[in-house]
A and B are shown apart, each in its own frame.
Chain A
Amino acid sequence: MTDFLSVFSYSFMQRALLVGMLVAPCAALLGVSLVLRRYAMIGDGLSHVGFGALSLALALGAAPLTVSLPIVILAAFLLLRLSENSKLCGDSAIALVSASAIAIGVVITSLSKGMSTDINDLMFGSILAMTESDVTLSVFLSAAVLLVFILFYRKIFSITFDESFARTEGVHVKTYTMLLALLTAVTIVLGMRIMGSMLISSLIIFPALTAMRIFRSFRGVTLFAALISLISFLVGLFLSFEFSLPTGATIVLVNLAFFLLCSIIGHKR
């Protein structure tokens, strides 16, 4: 146990721990609604756009969050439009945007510095990536996500379960959907630094699916998804430090382990 605590005497670990503990539950909360409304692909698309945006920031020598936040937020609205428009084959359109964003990112990086460890960090995350200002921003933005989720919980349930009914009762479905997309964009940008752009979407999708294996009520799934996401992050972070494994990937594998475990428990019931 002393070993476990001594890990956190490093300031970069403290920053990663704080940001992760805030971002992991936020990602899980947003994930419940995204997964149930079949918008999970948007999370995936956004993380790839985030990769492109971070590459750009790196090449320009600009602060990563200042460049990537607006770009990813814009992309969130674009992807939402694409996936609502069934005539355009939403899924295919998102795949195109994803691939293009990655291609742009790779080309920008190779033009500026050549492929380096930086691009590896962008793709698969780095525990060292968080700066002091990232932490401050993360705290505020995570607080915003949590607050929105608590304040609008009932409306989020209503539009997730039955959009038509919500509309007839005067709920502004479009506004709330855009709000969710906005928060998802923010969460992805924040989480991407630790998890990497290839792996961050799992933080959104895994907890919701895991919780759905054993819980049958929306509240149960929401609370358990947030909890299991937090636990997966903590366990993953500790294991990655202890055994010198890549942090993002380790966290994803812990999520996978919980998913399999809950699938078995759910199946036996």
Chain B
Amino acid sequence: MLLSCNNLTVSYDTVAIQDITFTAEKGDFICIVGENGSGKTTLIKALLGLLPAKNGTVTVKDGTKIGYVPQKLSVSHDFPASAEEIVRSGIITKRPFLSKAEKEKARHIMTLLEIDSIRRKSFSALSGGQAQRVLLARALCASEEFLVLDEPVTGLDPKATRDLYALLKKINKEKGTTVLMVSHDIRTSMHLATKILHIDKSVQFFGEPEHYICSECGQRFMGGAKHD
């Protein structure tokens, strides 16, 4: 077991998520789905410790690092940062400078994600798809074990979206990286995920996609999605 979330409750002025319990195993590809405002992003932030839990616990297996890919990052258009600087910032080390091996690791990941050629480009000059790949590469530098993504395809065109999803599936399969991802796209989620976590403040369904299709909650949600 890689991550275990037990009876997690987070509230702002009102309750945002309540009593959420689920676990992630090594190699899982979990998609978190639900309506807008159902608490998906809140759940991710609470899992990462960016929001305080009112109740419940989040336990991550000892020594497991998490690589986080945020929703489209709002960076001012003149922020000076090259793609490579951002990818390298994912490498967490106590020493002030990166070793040669660490630099090579970052370069290797950039090659894998096909962003090696744009490594000297300014982040603000990248296309949406390239920018998300840079953030994904940064997350992989932080951890190849466990990726947490908050709807990484927001604002991407259909092709860039397909490519990014395919890339995630490839990383998940080939490296055995566990993926936990918020997704607005239920059809793609069904295709990618090994498990679906449907929340609406609390857990509505947690299990395999095949069972989700048959469940009442899955039927309702996917039926609704057709009219989008």
Contact = CB atoms under 8 A, between A and B. Distances in A.
Nearest to A38: B76
B46 to A, nearest CB: 12
A266 to B, nearest CB: 10
Contact of A162 (B65, B73, B80, B98): B73
A73 to B, nearest CB: 25
Given A161-B75, A216-B122, A217-B122, A153 B96 contact: yes
Interface in A151-170: 151-154, 157-158, 161-162, 164-165, 167-170
Most buried by B among A157, A218, A219: A218
Given A157-B89, A164-B70, A169 B80 contact: no
A220 interface: yes
A212 B49 contact: no
Contacts of B76: 36
A218 B82 contact: yes
B89 A158 contact: yes
Interface string B122-143: 1001000000000000100010
A40 to B, nearest CB: 13
A165 B48 CA distance: 10
A217 to B, nearest CB: 4
A152 B73 contact: no
B12 interface: no
Interface in A107-162: 150-154, 157-158, 161-162
Contacts of B138: 165
Given A161-B75, A161-B86, A219-B85, A168 B68 contact: yes
Most buried by B among A169, A171, A217: A169
A108 to B, nearest CB: 40
Contact of B48 (A150, A152, A168): A168
Interface string A167-211: 111110000000000000000000000000000000000000001
B49 A168 contact: yes
Nearest to A153: B96
Contact of A168 (B50, B75, B78, B97): B50
Interface of B: 48-50, 65-66, 68, 70, 73, 75-76, 78-82, 85-86, 88-90, 92-93, 96-98, 120-122, 125, 138, 142, 148
The 10 closest A-B pairs by CB, nearest first: A216-B122, A217-B82, A221-B80, A168-B68, A168-B48, A158-B89, A151-B96, A169-B92, A218-B81, A218-B80
